[in-house]
């Protein structure tokens, strides 16, 4: 159970992303063209429920299944890193029609060529690590 | 109300859930439940961190301090994405509905850009193996992937970490990142992608 619960969570994630068509390149195009409410509804309702859960966890001081207090880490305050990094990520998201989660789900669907995208994403992560100290944060 | 009616209704419901795509008001809350489950496992939902974990596991820590950390503590996120791959396999084999329902406006826009075949989950020209042998295919796959990896780490998270976990925790940095995601996405969709597709 120690490890398998993460695999189960991932399986559920993969099924949701498929059945809601979030892994479809067309759905991402549709979102960035404001031609359907679908993706906005998914993200919006997930955030709404997530906010409620986060509020309740803090308010009621709920604990994890290991008995530890559930901690939320505040993100470091900055503008350039989130804005520049965010724009670069958005360019890639709209190009491939996939953010990191769907990349893995698509591989499960048999899209072998997505391995090229994944390898490039690993390279991008690595290159960021190399040049991190030279970039504005 | 007899028993067989009840069972029939139930079977019907199960079948419909498989045959139909899920509406946003089903998928969104379910996605939140995955994130909430991870919170109760003592973790925070964020997929792009797996890319850093993978780099570290492959030995990138020898070169750069950014990857020199106790990545074994983050092994859970590798298990999560293995699950996501398995979930994709299960869904494609047993749960897939026939066609993705895209807005006719989007179909029309894409056809103007030269994408005639809008079947499946992605256009075969860009996401079939033949894409590797075309310039536009390679740009989309390699440059697109690079930007996802570089941008997500620079911004400190992707759609899951910032848009879902971060916004749920009312983090202003996450809102800035999400605005960035959309600025980049809109630029690509409306100005750059039409140029790339002409390559």
pLDDT band of residue B99 (cuts 50, 70, 90) is confident
Q: Average pLDDT of B107-132?
A: 93
Q: What is the pLDDT of residues A66-110, one digit of tens each?
A: 999 999 989 999 999 999 999 999 999 999 999 999 999 999 999
| Contact call for B184 and A94, based on CB within 8 A | yes
Q: Phi, psi (5° rounding) for residue A69?
A: -60, 140
Among the partner residues A7, A103, A116, nearest to B142 by beta-carbon distance:
A116
| Contact call for B102 and A26, based on CB within 8 A | yes
Q: Is the pLDDT of residue A55 over 80?
A: yes
Q: How many residues does chain B have?
A: 199
Cβ(A118)–Cβ(A107) under 8 Å?
A: yes
Q: Is the pLDDT of residue B187 over 50?
A: yes
Please count the helices (runs of H) and the strands (runs of E) in chain A: 6, 0
Smallest Cα distance from B168 to chain A, Å: 4
| Contact call for B85 and A27, based on CB within 8 A | no
Handedness of CA A123, B187, A27, B165 (dihedral sign): positive
pLDDT of residue A14: 98
Q: Is the pLDDT of residue B11 over 90?
A: no
Q: Is the pLDDT of residue B4 over 60?
A: no
| Contact call for B152 and A29, based on CB within 8 A | no
Smallest Cα distance from A127 to chain B, Å: 7
Q: For residue B47, how far is the Cα from the chain centroid?
A: 9
Distance, CA of B159 to CA of A101 (rounded, Å) = 9
Q: Average pLDDT of B43-66?
A: 94
Q: Average pLDDT of B121-148?
A: 95
pLDDT of residue B12: 65
The residue among B116 and A88 whose pLDDT is bigger is: A88
pLDDT of residue B61: 93
Write down the ipTM of this complex. 0.96
For chain A, give the longest Cα–Cα distance.
Answer: 46
Mean pLDDT over each residue of chain B, to the nearest integer: 91
The least confident of A3-7, B9-13, B71-75 is B9-13
Residues of B in contact with A115 (CB under 8 A): none
Q: Is the pLDDT of residue B173 over 80?
A: yes
Q: Average pLDDT of B41-56?
A: 95
């Amino acid at each position: 159970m120690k490890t398998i619960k993460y695999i189960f969570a991932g399986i559920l994630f993969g099924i949701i992303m498929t059945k809601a068509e979030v892994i479809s390149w067309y759905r991402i195009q549709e979102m960035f063209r404001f031609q359907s409410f679908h993706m906005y509804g998914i993200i919006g309702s997930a955030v709404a429920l997530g906010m409620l859960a986060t509020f309740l966890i803090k308010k009621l001081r709920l604990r994890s299944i290991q008995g530890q207090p559930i901690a939320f880490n505040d993100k470091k305050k900055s503008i350039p890193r989130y804005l520049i990094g965010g724009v670069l990520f958005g360019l890639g998201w709209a190009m491939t029609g996939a953010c990191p989660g769907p990349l893995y789900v698509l591989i499960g669907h048999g899209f072998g060529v997505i391995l090229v995208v994944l390898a490039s994403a690993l390279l991008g992560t690595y290159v960021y690590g190399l040049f991190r100290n030279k970039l504005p944060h | 109300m007899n028993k067989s009616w009840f069972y029939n209704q139930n079977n019907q419901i199960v079948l419909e859930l498989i045959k139909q795509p899920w509406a946003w008001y089903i998928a969104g809350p379910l996605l939140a439940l995955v994130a909430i489950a991870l919170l109760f496992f003592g973790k925070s939902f964020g997929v792009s961190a797996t890319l850093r974990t993978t780099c570290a596991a492959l030995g990138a820590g020898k070169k750069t301090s950014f990857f020199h950390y106790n990545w074994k503590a983050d092994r859970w996120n590798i298990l999560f994405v293995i699950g996501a791959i398995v979930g994709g396999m299960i869904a494609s084999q047993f749960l897939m509905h026939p066609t993705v329902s895209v807005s006719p406006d989007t179909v029309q826009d894409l056809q103007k850009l030269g994408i005639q075949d809008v079947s499946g989950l992605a256009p075969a020209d860009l996401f079939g193996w033949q894409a590797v042998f075309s310039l536009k295919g390679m740009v989309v796959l390699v440059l697109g992937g690079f930007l996802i990896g570089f941008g997500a780490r620079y911004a400190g998270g992707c759609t899951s970490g910032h848009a879902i976990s971060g916004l749920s925790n009312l983090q202003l940095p996450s809102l800035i990142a999400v605005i960035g995601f959309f600025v980049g996405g809109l630029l690509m969709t409306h100005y750059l992608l039409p140029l790339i597709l002409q390559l």
